[in-house]
Structure 1
């Protein structure tokens, strides 16, 4: 596959796949067919949509190694985390553990839950905040070491968003379970980038996006719920199918646009046709190559990278993009002057440059970004 298989602007270098993904033309065409079908005969479309969504859910569940009845479609991970948090029977004084690498919208959801229930948010400082030099063992030790008798839930990433680090989710799920702590895994970047087996992982709640690395349309995400929690899922929005229980009660809200969910299996078929293992290995190798190319720019410091990921991070020179507004301004400047979309995140002291690699990228894309950074920093 290359850029012609997508609708991306060929005049722009796209190195920020991790933020919004890119939908293959074939998947766009499938979603367009579904939209036309819905507009030709709305009554007929909505009369059968519950069964069709259930069938699409079965395909996605099989891809993730999950039971069909244990997975529900959601719009995205933010919604999935919010549903999981809303289902917890928290009381004043209970604790929810997160980290200083937790995604912003997820942290907001945790803090709102704490305000509503009287719970306390405990933020774990993962090692290596300034240089990215920490291991999965370090992260697990920090997370599990924060547990107290009042800890009721832990929210942690499969792959951290801003810092592109792989956490030892299996070790964390097992460790928290042994301590009696409910687990909520933010796996926004996992489907498609990693081989996932939810049956083996057995987290209480696990939620991932299909529109980032699994070639799905936007918005399309999933929430997997362990058997013990399925009857206790509390909806954010009332549903006509509430008596049916999870997953149907969570998925159906009248006339929402279901076409992204119905077209999501087409994205999985595209991935299967290309070869999931080949895509994962090729993207990871290209991300490592891009990191080496861009790290040649004076002042950039590459953080430790996990070799199986299609994302990596370099720290910008001191004082550059240390706030999100400044990061956005720098990103806009790189796009305006050099035609490169780069993922730049505000970070204390110096911003972070997050590189992504997808099947439409080539080595020269990273060379173009390196030249842009040399020009700007000069």
Structure 2
């Protein structure tokens, strides 16, 4: 079947909802999965992808760690580097990452900043990014290029472009001054899975450093890491449900000893990865709780079951909401992507809504206040989208309620 490339216009898709998936994964005692989280039951939660949600048991585990820290600060901080080192090795094992190349960082943006600050760019270097890039990450790339007296080249990759077309466009932008290529693994604004492995391999053959923002990958992808990337970073507080302030950075062996934490510490003279185990007096309980969170959800629900359920529910939610939006506006709101990614799906908003990031964020805040619905709205190429994201606690009724209440609200807002 020939894949149809999409532009900023929504593409034709199903107009009738598909069958709702089976009930969410159940616990051993038969309780619904949503009981694992402390989320407000009076709200609809359809935006796990932005800030995540931490299970009750993980919060309790982290609280116990904090109690230990406050009970004996000297004992705690004296042993903290060894604790972080052990948690780092465990996290690498759980996510199938190379232990010797993996370190904790506070979040994906911080990990990208480590790469920008540590990997020296030659004078006049060009840094290549795409128009799908996360705002903070692109800002960091611009600052890194400016420090080198260089430039940033933004590659336009159409929404829904094939893997071949995306690769061709990105590699075509690499020139004699290109020193670094920055890619998204799963894009934030467009929920697009980029063929990062093959692009990074080719870029490395051309002598270009590659840095991959995999903020949304851990948990969503069974193999989240991009081995061909020189540096890959991924958040643990999103789909992996670790406490906020936890992410991992994975570096190829060739660049590991060039990487240093953003803040100097007494570990600065140590080799990679040990130099990243020091955090001064920072509260690093999020790092220590991260492997517990991932293993806990695997034990009580199973990551394969979570990924299967959330993917099926995302398909259902997209069908239900896009059908309601299409009927209300008279325009097809379904957005077809070449590789729908796990729990993420896009719905085209009515014209005039979310055409800038600021407008999209305003919609997020206003719809929460007006309807009690947590949802993500994004902007790409001057067009607004709703980005639905699910987890094990999400149910079909959440999407049905969004279609019944949020869609009319959005249509009315577009006419104001």
TM-score by length of 2: 0.86
1:242 is matched with which residue?
268
Are 2:98 and 1:67 aligned?
A: yes
1:354 aligns with 2:392: no
Q: After TM superposition, where is structure 1 displaced by more than 6 Å over at least 4 residues in a row?
A: none
2:289 to 243, 248, 263: 263
Distance in 2, matches of 1:211 and 1:354, equals 18
Alignment of 1:1-378 (within 5 A): 2-127=33-158, 132-196=159-223, 198=225, 201-273=227-299, 274-296=301-323, 297-298=325-326, 299=329, 301-305=333-337, 306-376=339-409, 377-378=411-412
Does the 8 Å contact 1:53/1:262 carry over to 2?
yes
- Rounded Cα–Cα distance in structure 2 between residues aligned with 1:324 and 1:182: 29
List per-residue Cα deviations over 1:139-170 (Å, max 9, x = no partner).
11111111111111101011001100001121
How far apart in 2 are the matches of 1:197 and 1:217?
19
Q: 1:323 touches 1:346 (CA, 8 Å); kept in 2?
A: yes
For the Cα contact (< 8 Å) 1:71–1:222, is it kept in 2?
yes
Task: Work out which structure has the larger RCO, using CA pairs closer than 8 Å and 6 or more positions apart in sequence.
Answer: 2
Instruction: Measure the CA separation in 2 of the matches of 1:374 and 1:248.
Output: 50
Q: Structure 1 residue 358: deviation in Å? A: 0.6
TM-score by length of 1: 0.95
**Count of aligned positions:** 373
Q: What secondary structure does 2:222 align onto?
A: coil
Deviation at 1:123, TM superposition (A): 0.4
* Distance in structure 1 (CA, Å) of the matches to 2:150 and 2:276: 25
